Structure 1
Amino acid sequence: MAQLELRAVNSTLQEAASTKANDAYVIDNPRGSHALACGLNGPVDVTINGSTGYYCAGMNQDASVTVKGSAGPGVAENMMSGTVTIEGDASQYAGATGHGGLLNIKGNASSRCGISMKGIDIVVHGSIGHMSAFMGQKGNLVVLGDAGDALGDSLYEARLFVRGTVKSLGADCVEKEMRPEHLEFLADILAKAGAEAKPEEFKRYGSARTLYNFDIDNADAY
């Protein structure tokens, strides 16, 4: 990208993805570009050698995107399927509104990781910031490190698994029983993410389901 403009790079990747040819591309000198490798809707493999700006790999569908660096805000935003791997850290609202696929963050993630997630699987090998999984509707957030304040605030049916400590739980988020099916799920996704952890080391958190419908007695919690 010392020679090609962002629009030319994205157009090339999108065209390759649309042909379903399983092509592979390596991007050098990304220079922190924003919205890099966005809107890919086919089985293309993209490796980015360096860090990226905001909204990298947004709206990803079927593609495999690897960032050999860190990613700015909103990485894999509205992701549908495929795999996005960040070998460094991710900034705020990683995986926001994601509908499916796997977002694999090898470092830490900042605040609001997985906000309004709708089916995506997110694995964070480090820790996450405050308000993560806020209004999480569906999907799984797996954290090998610690979680900040207000984890799972106003949660719906997303499942949260944290190995470390949780600074505080958000409104309507509670610790839940870890059943055999959860241990089986964790073993599978940890293997997919290449994460060295045992399922038995995690605690599960989910919705208490007291805020599904407005109740005047719960007004202070909304």
Structure 2
Amino acid sequence: MDPVILDCTQLSTREINAALGGLPDGAAARVMAPWGRHNLAVGLDNRITVRIEGNAGYFIGGLCAGPDVVVDGFVGWSVAENLMRGTVRVRGNASECAGASAHGGTLIVEGDASSRAGISLKGGTVLVAGDVGHMSGFMAQAGILLVGGDAGQALGDSLYETVIYVGGSIASLGSDARVEDLTDDDVLTVKRLADRAGFEHIDPGNVTRVASARELYHFDALAGQRY
């Protein structure tokens, strides 16, 4: 079956998403001339393949529970936000909050991601080939964030049960984040994820594991009154 062609110069965002949502499982679509268009390929639960041919805007692939989305370019804020299932692959850089609150599925960024990558992650997997900005992994509750390059300041601030792997340097750790020893299971996990993403530059046995120190799990209202 030939892919369905959807041209952003001829169709509104609502029309494009309605057309994508109406495709049967196994179908494919090409979104042409996105030119920074926001909200493309959102809210889809069918198992289709979507290729966005060019740079796109905010919230690409958000709220999806099934499709595989590829963006041949850069994306703006909050790509794959609240992703439930499926894969979103960005063949360029991503702006702020990549993969925010993703409950499942996988976001793959082949370039760099800006600040707050994987913020409030809730079970999804975020794989970034390059660097991530400050506050990445902030309040991340479950899932995995893999960074092939360097991480900015306050990595993993207020981290819960998400595990962060960093191939490069870490500018600083956030509150309640700590470096832990790498286990054999960690090495296997990183290898599996790097192979899936096609990140050949990552050495699974030479990454830094960051996890929660679990000291902020319970709020102590009297802590400031003790002397």
Same fold (TM over 0.5): yes
Separation in structure 1 between the aligned mates of residue 31 and residue 14 of structure 2, nearest angstrom? 13
Classify the secondary structure of the residue corresponding to 2:65: coil
The amino acid of 1:13's aligned partner reads: L
Q: In the alignment, what sits opposite 2:205?
A: 200
Residues 38-90 of structure 1: per-residue CA shift (max 9 Å, x gap): 01101110000101111010011110000000010000000001000000000
CA distance in 2, matches of 1:120, 1:100: 4
Identity of aligned residues (%): 43
Q: Please name the residue that 1:40 is paired with.
A: 44
Match of 1:57 in 2: 61
Q: Please state whether the residue corresponding to 2:123 is helix, strand or coil.
A: strand
State how 1:65-144 maps to structure 2 within 5 Å.
65-144=69-148
The change in CA–CA distance for 1:214 and 1:110 in structure 2 (over 3 A counts) is: same
Aligned residue in 1 for 2:18? 11
Deviations 1:118-176 (A, max 9, x none): 01111100100000010000000000100000000000000000010000000000001
Deviation at 1:216, TM superposition (A): 5.5
CA distances 1:102-130 after superposition (whole Å, capped 9, x unpaired):
10000000000000000111110010000
Q: Which runs of 4+ in 1 moved over 6 A?
A: none
Q: What code does the residue aligned with 1:15 have?
A: G
What is the root-mean-square deviation in Å for CA atoms of aligned residues? 1.1
Post-superposition offset of 1:218: 6.4
TM-score (norm 2): 0.93
Q: Residues 218, 167 of structure 1: CA spacing in aligned structure 2 closer, same or farther, 3 A cutoff?
A: farther
Query: What amino acid maps onto 1:215 in structure 2?
Result: D
Rounded to whole Å, the distance in 2 between the matches of 1:109 and 1:154 is 20
Q: Are the counterparts in 2 of residues 211 and 218 from structure 1 also a CA contact under 8 Å? A: no
Number of aligned residues: 216
* Alignment partner of 1:215 is 2:212: no
Segments of structure 1 that go 5 or more residues without pairing to the other structure are none
Asked if structure 2 preserves the Cα contact closer than 8 Å seen for 1:72 and 1:90, the reply is yes
Native 8 Å contact 2:167 2:203 kept in 1: no
Q: Alpha carbons of 1:50 and 1:218: their partners in 2 closer, same or farther (altered >3 Å)?
A: farther
Specify every segment of 5 or more residues in structure 2 that has no aligned partner in the other structure, as ranges.
Answer: 1-7
The amino acid across from 2:208 in the alignment is K
